[in-house]
Structure 1
Amino acid sequence: MIDDKTSVEQTNITKNTQHLDGDMMDKNGGVLATLTTLSASVVEWRELQGKADDKLYSVLDGCLRIVYLCEDEDLKATLLSVCKEKDMKGMDNKGVHLIVSKLVFGSGDKKCYTYAKALENASKLQLHTEKDKRTLSEYLKSNGGIDALIRKEAIAISKGYEDERFGTKEHFGENLSDELFGYLSGLNLMDIDKVKEDKVYSGVCDVKIDNDEFMKKFVNKEEREQFVKLKYDYTTKTFHILPFCVSVADNEYNAINKAYNLHLARMFDGTDMYQRYIALCDKRAEKKKADKAKKDKEMIEELNKFAPL
């Protein structure tokens, strides 16, 4: 344990310490003094960070007001002309949130897309309107800042989903995987046009593999779901399943699963499948609210039993 009586002077000089700033260490190289100095610097940094956040939120407030004004197409056209003057290419088909963000923060700012997402979700929440009079700045300060606002998809924000997964592309892909593969074969999924037209028919779903060594890979519950690599042999018209599988128990599974779900979501984005998914999220969200209300009521009833008469 280190206290004031403990000697922690650094008497040896190493490659890591010989170039240390003298202001950061006392004349004897005491570590305790350094820790005190660093702690004081952290306090100062947090104060400056808070002021910087306040200023950023104020700027975003102004950006949101411009976004609302740009519902007037003439004003949006004016902003696009400014983009051309600044040689900002490819903006004609971009949303007004990104246009405003790039014009205010500069097209070279890597956080433009983050700020644009925050503005998009803020407009979905209808902040600073008759429906919700809170400013964007007030909302950010009381709801976890920009990161918390952009974490959800815009549709999840507008619908008020409490579950952060609902409405996300990854969750959409996950539901597609769970539901579609129940009645579609891989060959049918490859015919994306038929899926989009909702003219899909059932295909071969069950393939029996009579190989005990291969089946051993799927005996345990955490290994029943796996990713495998397939290779098609045109001469024999058969698929070769490579023996190196990735199961749920493997560390790499989550990364592959996420990429796969996002891939599925991109394939079906804008289709009737997506609307079905959102309807499913609506039902699940309502059930979650009903379950929570029921639990809250039961808890209040239990607490009232202990209330004094």
Structure 2
Amino acid sequence: MQRKPRLFIGSSVESLDIADAINLNLDHQAEVTIWRNGTFELSNNTIDSLVKKAESVDFSLFIFSPDDISIIKNKQKAVVRDNVLFELGLFIGAIGKERCFILKPRDVDLHFPTDLLGVTPADYEPNRSDGDLASAVNHACVLIKKQMEKLQPLSALSSPPKPKPISVNVSAELTDLDFTVLGTLIGTATSSPNGYAISTVKNELKNNSPRVDLSIIKLEKLGYIDRRNETDEMNEYEYFAYTITTDGVELLIENENKAFGTTAPAKIDDGFNDDIPF
């Protein structure tokens, strides 16, 4: 089962009520993290925590609001808080511009940095007579939901093909254990495309040695297996899942005996016993 996309929401303190309203709308469609929750860790500075968060989400939404006033060309302009703009740039660099959304209040003259001109933000009605912010941002959330469905979580996308190993006879670098580990993963090319956890590989081999971990790392570096993040929905934890690549399958075909050994064909019992005297 594919996990829900992860969405980070960045805003100023003054716009946290808008962030909460967005969370209400998208709670069933995404794993929403508002910047004040689960982002900043003890002993880490702000930038390190944001970089780590940017590397772990699939999408981000930044709420632009007229929190500050700047003098631009001798005119007062309502501008977005500097840290919100900085965080937007950080997330664009990490996951791409098409995965970073902007939400702004409707009919508010808000100065945009020139680098963001041409980017179409979603908007909402900030002055509803009933004060219902969840309903005010609903339309924008529908647009965001459609875009998330279109782009999918990053972990669901196919990894770019890895370059083939440069070594002319790279199989000579592999040990018998490496071939056995690779053979254990052959099922990920047929019946288990989501991959195996390393614990599954070790259980199959009945081998908990760190050499299995080293073999997995080696095979990944050589391009014979791929690694990606998966989520155990039942137990709610994440793990690395490993799958064999096309190069790995070709290597197994060329070295079948090293991976699976040689098995003599079973003797067929034809019911005739040479030892019966006549």
Report the TM-score range of the alignment, normalised by the length of the smaller protein: under 0.3
More strand per residue: 2
Q: TM-score, normalised by structure 2?
A: 0.25
Q: TM-score, normalised by structure 1?
A: 0.24
